[in-house]
């Protein structure tokens, strides 16, 4: 449904919660976050138990830093309460083997496919010790693509709970005797968070899909690391925090070794900054800071690549946003081209420095940029989702590329562009540097992941 259709529908039926929710989704895709959140809240005023609108509101809140982590937790807990009221008989006993030699681990996700989650998950799956961990997949979208063809063999069962309500899906998982159930979605599309409120497994974990709290009391743990969830941030979560020893992310090495080109400014004669993040992450605050950088680095350019820029109207409005900050359209390159992953990665060969978004930074886009030899300038935030940028930078061996605030972000961007020799040398060595880091060390990550799940299980059995 498009924006005009939603407006027209609301004139006919102003209290239709589905239309208010749909309008919010449209506005969110257009980057109009305030309007989107107002639409979700209006839907919730009409129907306080409307899960879809609540879910979408919680996701949208991650794009702005105008609220505190405590506010986000409060809203997430309200979502958890709404979900809990729909549970008629929460499981309190389970069918899994009490003293297993191999843990049965279920993974629930709408993104077990060619998707950021799929790329990170593949880095784990290819190294998992199947004598310690037996994996069962519960894909919410049962699609077929090349990534699915590669990863299905790592699961002993592939059981899509599509077209099943939450109770039936929970009973399906419960009957499978799962020890640990992992949510890989958070509040992203196609999630099945309400299933977890039924407690179909004795240990339940949130990981990877959206770095935040779920607010669901039946979710036992949130999986992070020392940089993404520093000591003292435990109060941001309804779950107990479990930290991986290095990184909570590990990307699979791309199948095709797309070559790293020399620093593009050496031939272009000017610095090209770039961001391949979702356009919704490029808020007005981000545009203003990036404009300051472009004004401070003479003749520099900015390359934006995201599928939303296929739309001519979106392209025009994007140019207008930068023009309002004093940046002429010939300094902003826009690409919305749908391309293969190899072609997508090759686009980084046009970028000298990647500029990360804030407070919702890149995940896959940042790690892919590093693999392509492009350093990423990010900003340290005050919550899990923002601090994933700091985690990526520290694990990549680039802690100096994390700014403390907006002024520091601009200052670092200007300073890094002043030493072309250093940038060229960094580009030449960065792929090998990150390949040797926790961001791509799938073997070590898998051992740490297995140990974490086993330790969670041991704590559960010792506490029961």
- Listed in sequence order, the residues at least 6 apart from 284 whose beta carbon sits closer than 8 Å to its beta carbon are 321
Instruction: Answer for the pair 294, 331: CB distance below 8 angstroms, yes or no.
Output: yes
| Contact (CB, 8 A) for 304 and 333 | yes
The answer to whether residue 90 is domain-embedded is no
Q: What is the pLDDT of residue 29?
A: 87
**Are both 278 and 208 inside the same structural domain?**
no
Structural contact between residues 318 and 332, judged by C-beta atoms closer than 8 angstroms: yes
Within this chain, do residues 141 and 52 fall inside the same structural domain, yes or no?
A: no
Half-sphere exposure of 166 (CA within 13 A, CB side): 19
Say whether both 431 and 452 belong to one domain.
no
Q: Is 259 domain-assigned?
A: no
Listed residue (42, 37, 45, 39) closest to 72, CA to CA: 37
User: Per the structure block, which two tokens stand in for 268?
Assistant: 């272009």
The count of domains in the chain is 3
Average pLDDT of the residues of the chain: 95
Residues 16 and 154 occupy one common structural domain? no
The CATH number given to whatever domain includes residue 115 is 3.40.50.11380
The DSSP line for 108-127 is: EES-SSSSHHHHHHHHHHTT
Measure the CA–CA gap between 190 and 349, rounded to whole angstroms.
Answer: 33
Q: What is the pLDDT of residue 113?
A: 85
Q: Is residue 91 part of a domain?
A: no
Running DSSP on this structure, what letter comes out for residue 217?
T
Q: What percent of the chain has pLDDT over 70?
A: 99
Residue 390 in any domain: the answer is yes
Q: Is there a single domain that holds both residue 285 and residue 430?
A: yes
Q: Is 336 in the same domain as 314?
A: yes
The per-residue pLDDT for range 279-295, each reduced to its tens digit, is 999 999 999 999 999 99
Count Cβ atoms below 10 Å from residue 116 Cβ, excluding itself.
18
User: What pLDDT does 114 receive?
Assistant: 82
Say how far apart CA 206 and CA 182 lie, in whole Å. 6
Same domain? 340 vs 456: no
pLDDT at 8: 82
Q: How many other C-beta atoms are found inside a 10 Å radius of the C-beta of residue 173?
A: 23
Containing domain of residue 153, as a range?
103-253+442-463
Which parts of the chain register pLDDT below 70?
1-3, 464
Residues 281 and 242 in one domain: no
Please report whether residue 428 resides in a domain. Answer: yes
Q: Judge if the upstream peptide bond of residue 359 is cis by omega within 30 degrees of 0.
A: yes
Structural domain contains residue 375: yes
Q: Which pLDDT score is estimated for 151?
A: 94
**Cα three-residue angle 248-252-257, rounded to 5 degrees:** 140
Question: Residue 421 sits in a domain of what CATH number?
Answer: 3.40.50.2000
Rounded distance between C-alpha atoms, residue 23 and residue 2, angstroms: 8
Whether 96 maps to a domain, the answer reads no
In DSSP terms, which residues pair with 302 in a beta bridge? 273, 332
**% residues pLDDT > 90 (the chain):** 89
Last residue of a domain, one of 85, 113, 137: 85
In a domain, 246, yes or no: yes
In this structure, the answer to whether residues 133 and 49 fall within a common structural domain is no
Same domain, 158 and 73: no
Question: Among candidates 162, 68, 157, 70, which has minimal Cα distance to 109?
Answer: 162
Q: Are residues 447 and 428 in the same domain?
A: no
Residue 79's CATH number: 1.25.40.10
Q: Which of 85, 119, 136 is the last residue of a domain?
A: 85
Q: Across the beta sheet with 353-355, what order do the strands follow?
A: 332-335, 301-305, 272-275, 353-355, 376-379, 402-403
Q: Same domain, yes or no, for 218 and 327? A: no
């Amino acid at each position: 449904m498009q924006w005009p259709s939603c407006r027209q529908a609301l004139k006919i039926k102003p209290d239709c919660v589905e239309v208010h929710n749909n309008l919010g989704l449209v506005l969110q895709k257009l980057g109009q976050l305030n309007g989107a959140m107002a639409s979700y809240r209006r839907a919730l005023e009409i129907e306080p138990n409307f899960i879809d609108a609540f879910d979408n509101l919680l996701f949208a809140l991650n794009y702005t830093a105008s609220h505190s982590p405590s506010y986000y937790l409060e809203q997430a807990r309200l979502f958890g309460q709404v979900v809990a009221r729909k549970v008629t008989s929460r499981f309190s006993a389970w069918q899994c083997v009490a003293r297993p030699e191999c843990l049965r681990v279920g993974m629930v996700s709408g993104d077990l496919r060619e998707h950021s989650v799929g790329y990170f998950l593949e880095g784990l799956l290819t190294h998992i010790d199947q004598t310690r961990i037996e994996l069962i997949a519960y894909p919410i979208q049962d699609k077929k693509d090349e990534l699915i063809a590669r990863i299905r063999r790592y699961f002993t069962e592939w059981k899509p709970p599509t077209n099943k309500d939450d109770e039936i899906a929970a009973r399906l998982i419960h009957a499978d005797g799962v020890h640990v159930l992992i949510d890989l979605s958070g509040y992203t599309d196609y999630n099945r968070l309400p299933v977890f409120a039924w407690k179909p497994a004795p240990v339940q974990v949130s990981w990877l899909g959206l770095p935040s709290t779920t607010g669901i009391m039946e979710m036992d743990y949130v999986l992070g690391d020392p940089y993404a969830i520093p000591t003292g941030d435990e109060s941001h979560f309804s779950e107990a925090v479990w930290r991986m020893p290095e990184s909570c992310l590990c990307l699979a090495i791309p199948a095709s070794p797309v070559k790293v080109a020399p620093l593009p400014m050496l031939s272009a004669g000017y610095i090209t900054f770039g961001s391949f993040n979702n356009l919704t992450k490029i808020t007005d605050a981000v545009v203003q800071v990036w404009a300051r950088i472009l004004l401070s680095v003479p003749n520099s350019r900015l390359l934006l690549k995201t599928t939303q820029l296929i739309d001519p109207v979106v392209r025009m409005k994007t140019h207008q946003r930068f023009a309002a900050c004093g940046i002429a359209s010939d300094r902003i390159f826009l690409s919305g081209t749908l391309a293969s992953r190899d072609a997508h990665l090759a686009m980084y060969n046009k970028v000298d420095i990647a500029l990360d978004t804030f407070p919702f930074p890149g995940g896959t886009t940042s790690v892919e940029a590093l693999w392509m030899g492009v350093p990423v300038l990010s900003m340290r935030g005050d919550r899990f989702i923002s601090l994933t940028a700091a985690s990526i930078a520290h694990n990549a061996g680039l802690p100096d590329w994390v700014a403390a605030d907006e002024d520091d972000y601009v200052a670092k961007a200007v300073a890094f562009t002043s030493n072309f020799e250093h940038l060229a040398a960094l580009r030449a060595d960065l792929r090998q540097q990150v390949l040797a880091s926790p961001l791509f060390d799938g073997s070590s990550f898998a051992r740490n992941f297995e140990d974490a799940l086993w330790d969670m299980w041991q704590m559960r059995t010792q506490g029961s």
